[in-house]
Chain A
Amino acid sequence: MKRILSAALAALLICSLSPAGDWPNKNINMTVPYGAGGTTDLTARSIANGMSKVLGITINVINTPGAGGSAGSLNVQNARVDGYTLLANGMLAFTTMPLNGYTEKTFREWDIWIATYAPNGIIVPKNSPYNTITDLVEAIRAKPGQITAGTAGKGSGGHFGAEVIKGVAGADYKHITYAGGGPAVQATLAGEVDFCPQLLAEYKDLVIAGEVKALACLAEDDIEVAPGKVIPSILKAYPEAKKYIPMGEVTGILVPKGLPNEVLAKLDAAFASAAKEKDFLDFAAVRSFVVIPKGRAESQAFLESFASRAAYILYDAGAVTIDPAKYGFKR
């Protein structure tokens, strides 16, 4: 009797462990390590909608904010690799997490599909004396360490942007940190800081309305935020900034490596189709995200250069103490 029971139990277990060919046979969870309504969340939901149409199941977006995004990422990293737990995150986090010692794993341990790129911009208050990026850089050169930059804190997207300006000017700025991108932009509106190098998506409407002046963007090409309103690329004035550009946040979908090939192939197809959905493209256009859909191999190649650039910017700024060389990042 006992033997029959255990055999039945084993059979049941085997049945429940569905072979990879069946994937997906239930709903998939996509973890967003930030709150609902944020940039990462909206990107994730938009892509999840497109992917679920192809896969024929629902993708539930789950928000697990906490510890600056590391909590949700580490949850997925430690979850069972069965293709039912996906992560949507910005790639800067995957540079800062290992360098802060939160995890030993870099982006190389993940299969990644990159969806969007959101460039940094450089804005100044409406009544600022600086009208071009050259004005600002010259001011930093003339008064090293006195021109203030308001960012969302050490290791934030804005900090990367400020470090690029420092590299171009060859002189330091004064770093003033705020509790987030919103408060940093607000301080710029109030005229408390000289410039703000946060992501363009965070204040695009203020630029269009003329509440702040946008001097440059840290993308390779100029960006037209509204008809006739163009933000020039920093390369126009400083071609030597090429080694830092493009800088900004890159967002995509990730799973820890180890999924069977047929599951990955289905995800490839679903992602490629989702990145072409009209809803997604509209959403990206409204927020001034550049859609740069990249498959798994392409994403890895892109991140090798992007992450090492970001890692050394942080390391040289003294924001992290672990040497990026430890993870094989090359200058």
Chain B
Amino acid sequence: MAFQYMLDACGNVLAPYNLLMLIMATAAGLVMGVLPGLSATMAIALLTGLTYNVGDHQTAIIALLGVYVGAISGGCQSAILLNIPGTPASAATAMDGFPLAKAGKGGLAIFIATTVSCLGTLLSVVFVLTLTPLLTRFALSFASWEFFLLSIFGILICGALTARGNALKGWISGAAGILVAQIGLDTVDTFERFSYGNVNVMSGIQLIPVMIGLFGFPEIVLAFKRESGGRVLELTRFNIREGFRIIRANLIGIARSALIGVGVGIIPGVGEDVGGWLSYWAMKASSREAASFGSGNPQGIVAAETGNNSCIGGAIIPVLSLAVPGSAPAAVLLAAFFMHNYRPGPLLMSESPEFVYNVAIYLVFASVAMWLLALGMARLTVRVLTVDKKILMPIIFLLCVIGAYLINYNLFDVKVMFVFGLVGLGMSYLKVPAAPFILGVVLGPMTDANLRRALRLSDGSFLPMFGRPICVAFLAVCLFMILSQIGLFSWWRRRRAGKGN
């Protein structure tokens, strides 16, 4: 039966009109992913409205999944070439991708990133088809305490990873991000915080303008500060065999990153961005070359891009089984499914059992289409690096402004972008990493609302936190990370070594 459904789905997607739609949607998703400021969530939301009148619902679903896969994968190109993540999901990719591009290996980096993106999506499809019920049960055991600790855990990891030896700077940056996220109406009591009566501030600081400002501004300014004239970066041709060799050497890492990505994807409220960071951390922690992470180790790209792309399948799992979205783009996708007369949720398997297989097969085709299109597009995007920076940088600046404006068609967001651009410039002079700040803005509402909700449920007691197994595991890892970063372990080891003498 399952086989029959899959065959039907293949037939659907290979119909000429649907195939054309898949290619167009995936390409559109890639372009939106490459451009900073156009996120995957927005891409799917735009397409949801556009597909309402598409007669064949299958065509619409194919287009929506194509745009999702494209948008999450496209972000790596701008992250690698410009150090400005195209979407928040590819922030971790910039860590090693940009140093590689600076070393003239931008093409290789994009090839690896795109290939593992495709692999990540494919691996997550396997989970969609097999482990859906089991994984959903696990994700559902997450309640307020778990969400609170998960967000703290994510920021601690990101801070430690990006700070180049001084984790404290990363954590300060993350904490500042959480503080920025508190601005505006809070989600627990709809109480105004730090808005000073300004209506725009009341609706909160948007993530995308902050991200564009923090990442974009320093790159533009620093590019002009470096010696003038000539090309921005040198670009050398790369050997596809080398790309495949690196991927083959990291198959275990890819499997691990995919597992992490799927897991993060299933948990409601955390999505592709966290998936990228957690896989990156796991890869670094288990790598023999940990020291070279952050200065252009392809393993970093492999982990980050597998991690964020496998979140796609992960986030779709709870959509299908419970109608609870696992990430922000998946939430829009859920709405789109409803619009096309599908009712994802516990009744899906009895009402339209073919739908799960359709989604899985469409994802497979979308990721293959993405791979081909992205590599074709990379031939154009890598040439960006050969453009004179006197021409390139003003264009990027313009894109930054437009990207910030497009979120809500609101000039206030452009001002926010400028303010955080200056903040980002200051941070880059002080060598404070920007990525934890962004993650803080992403996870800040989750940290705050879940802590307060949990405390309200327990009448202000922290004790219930220690009675939950997942919480205890999170706490243990957080504690271990803090202790190792402040040098307690090396101090202890030195002392023992001293006694031995």
Contact = CB atoms under 8 A, between A and B. Distances in A.
A60 to B, nearest CB: 10
B408 interface: yes
A189 B335 contact: no
Given A37-B335, A38-B335, A286-B343, A192 B143 contact: yes
Interface residues of B, number: 38
B188 to A, nearest CB: 5
Contacts of B203: 66-67
B4 interface: no
A206 B339 contact: no
Nearest to A156: B190
A24 interface: no
B457 interface: yes
B48 interface: yes
A176 B338 CA distance: 28
B346 A206 contact: yes
Given A36-B335, A66-B203, A182-B324, A192 B190 contact: no
B345 interface: yes
A190 B142 contact: yes
A182 B330 CA distance: 13
A35 B140 contact: no
Contacts of B334: 37
Interface string B328-362: 00011011111100010111000000000000000
Given A63-B49, A153-B190, A174 B338 contact: no
Interface residues of A, number: 36
Contacts of A192: 143-144, 457
Q: Identify whether the interface residues of A are mostly helix, strand, loop, or mixed.
A: mixed
A176 B453 contact: yes
A142 to B, nearest CB: 17
A35 B332 contact: yes
A170 interface: no
Given A36-B339, A37-B332, A177 B48 contact: no
B456 interface: yes
A177 B141 contact: no
A179 B446 CA distance: 10
B253 interface: no
A187 interface: yes
B343 A205 contact: yes
Contacts of A177: 187-189, 453
A37 B324 contact: no
A66 B408 contact: yes
Interface in B48-92: 48-49, 52
B375 interface: no
A37 B339 CA distance: 5
Contact of B346 (A174, A179, A205): A205
Nearest to A185: B324
Interface in A135-157: 148, 153-155
B421 to A, nearest CB: 24
Contacts of A148: 457
B23 interface: no
B268 interface: yes
B323 interface: yes
A208 interface: yes
Contacts of B336: 36-37
Contacts of A42: 338-339
A107 B294 CA distance: 59
A85 to B, nearest CB: 17
A209 B187 contact: no
A42 B445 CA distance: 29
A45 interface: yes
Interface in B97-156: 140-144
Interface in B28-57: 45, 48-49, 52
A261 B300 CA distance: 67
B23 to A, nearest CB: 23
B325 interface: yes
Nearest to B52: A45
A186 interface: yes
B449 interface: yes
A56 interface: no
Interface string B143-183: 11000000000000000000000000000000000000000
Nearest to B446: A179
Interface in A3-54: 35-38, 41-42, 45
B10 interface: no
B40 to A, nearest CB: 15
B377 interface: no
B142 A36 contact: no
Contact of A183 (B268, B332, B337): B268
A243 to B, nearest CB: 27
A176 B189 CA distance: 9
Nearest to B325: A182
Interface in A66-104: 66-67
B140 A189 contact: yes
A35 B187 contact: no
B232 to A, nearest CB: 39
A219 interface: no
A61 B48 CA distance: 12
B322 A206 contact: yes
A42 B48 CA distance: 12
A40 to B, nearest CB: 11
Nearest to A283: B341
Contacts of B445: 179
Task: List 7 tightest A-B contacts by C-beta distance, closest first.
Answer: A37-B335, A209-B346, A205-B345, A192-B143, A36-B48, A36-B49, A37-B339
Given A153-B190, A190-B143, A209-B346, 11 more contacts: A36-B52, A36-B332, A66-B408, A148-B457, A155-B190, A176-B453, A178-B453, A189-B322, A190-B140, A206-B345, A211-B322
22 contacts: A35-B332, A36-B48, A36-B49, A36-B336, A37-B48, A37-B334, A37-B335, A37-B337, A45-B52, A66-B203, A148-B457, A153-B190, A174-B456, A176-B453, A176-B457, A178-B453, A179-B449, A183-B269, A205-B345, A205-B347, A208-B346, A211-B346
